């Protein structure tokens, strides 16, 4: 009987914990569940000041390449942030569509942003249309815990895909396009990080020191 009581208590604790987590997620509007966590974490990133201010050519190269890669997150965050002027249509309990008029690449477009709750994730489709032309420009998913996901961008024959993951204070971001795979992993608190850009490997410490290993094998420290 004692063993049975322990099992019941454990089951209740697990049930309450799961229910609480689910309630926290459900309290958020669908539009805040796709990329908000990734965007907020990326905004907190601060690379070490000594690295940012370094005059060393390799350190400056690392800062530039990292900024370019981080800018991809900023662009996606901007794309997938629903404006206050957007209308909201609840299709059913699991699907919501946001609609607004936007400007993209200098063109006025109608935007439908559909978010659907599935078994373990929220999927989304960012659909744009203008006149008789329309396309699903961006799609992807975010897992319920909002700590990882995928974003895929498609335009004509160009396809780019991004994977991201957050664990504690570590943010990992990967960008795949044209057969290349670039990525970075950084501690958003200390600024310590590492990055792969066009086959070259960069890494730096909290104090701003670091090194680059080029794909030809050459290594330079700063």
- pTM of the shown model: 0.82
| The predicted structure's pLDDT at residue 13 | 32
Domain regions of the chain by residue span: 38-221
Mean pLDDT of 152-170: 93
pLDDT digits (tens, 9 = 90+) for 36-45: 889 999 998 8
CB 134 within 8 A of CB 125: no
| The predicted structure's pLDDT at residue 27 | 65
Mean pLDDT of 190-213: 97
Q: Check pLDDT > 70 for residue 10.
A: no
Eight-class DSSP state of 190:
T
146 or 19, greater pLDDT:
146
**Measuring CA to CA, how many Å separate 199 from each of 176, 178, 183, 221?**
12, 13, 10, 17
Q: Check pLDDT > 50 for residue 28.
A: yes
CB 169 within 8 A of CB 188: yes
Place 159 in a pLDDT band, splitting at 50, 70 and 90.
Answer: very high
Mean pLDDT of 122-126: 97
| The predicted structure's pLDDT at residue 24 | 44
Place 26 in a pLDDT band, splitting at 50, 70 and 90.
Answer: low
Identify which of 101, 105, 114, 45 has the alpha carbon closest to the alpha carbon of residue 74.
Answer: 45
| The predicted structure's pLDDT at residue 20 | 40
| The predicted structure's pLDDT at residue 18 | 39
HSE-CB of 154 using CA atoms within 13 angstroms? 13
16 or 46, greater pLDDT:
46
How many helices (H) and strands (E) the chain has is answered by 4, 13
Place 201 in a pLDDT band, splitting at 50, 70 and 90.
Answer: very high
212 or 10, greater pLDDT:
212
* Lowest-confidence region among 4-13, 53-62, 155-164, 185-194: 4-13
Place 5 in a pLDDT band, splitting at 50, 70 and 90.
Answer: very low
What share of the chain in percent tops pLDDT 70? 87
pLDDT digits (tens, 9 = 90+) for 95-118: 999 999 988 667 789 999 999 999
């Amino acid at each position: 009987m004692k063993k049975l009581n322990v099992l019941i208590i454990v089951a209740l604790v697990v049930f309450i914990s799961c229910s609480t987590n689910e309630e926290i997620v459900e309290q958020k509007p669908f539009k805040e569940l796709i990329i908000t966590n990734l965007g907020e974490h990326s905004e907190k990133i601060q690379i070490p000041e000594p690295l940012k201010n370094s005059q060393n050519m390799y350190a400056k190269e690392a800062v530039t390449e990292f900024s370019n890669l981080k800018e991809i997150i900023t662009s996606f965050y901007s794309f997938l942030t629903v404006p206050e002027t957007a209308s909201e249509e609840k299709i059913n309990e699991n699907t919501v569509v946001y609609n607004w008029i936007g400007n993209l690449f200098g063109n006025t477009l109608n935007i439908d942003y559909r978010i659907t709750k599935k078994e373990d994730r929220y999927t989304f489709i960012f659909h744009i249309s203008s006149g008789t032309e329309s396309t699903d420009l961006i799609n992807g998913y975010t897992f319920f815990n909002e700590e990882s996901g995928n974003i895929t961008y498609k335009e004509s024959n160009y396809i780019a895909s991004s994977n991201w993951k957050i664990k504690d204070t570590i943010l990992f971001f990967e960008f795949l396009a044209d057969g290349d795979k670039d990525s970075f992993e950084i501690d958003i608190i200390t600024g310590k990080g590492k990055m792969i850009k066009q086959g070259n490997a960069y890494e730096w410490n909290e104090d701003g020191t670091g090194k680059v290993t080029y794909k030809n094998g050459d290594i330079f420290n700063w």
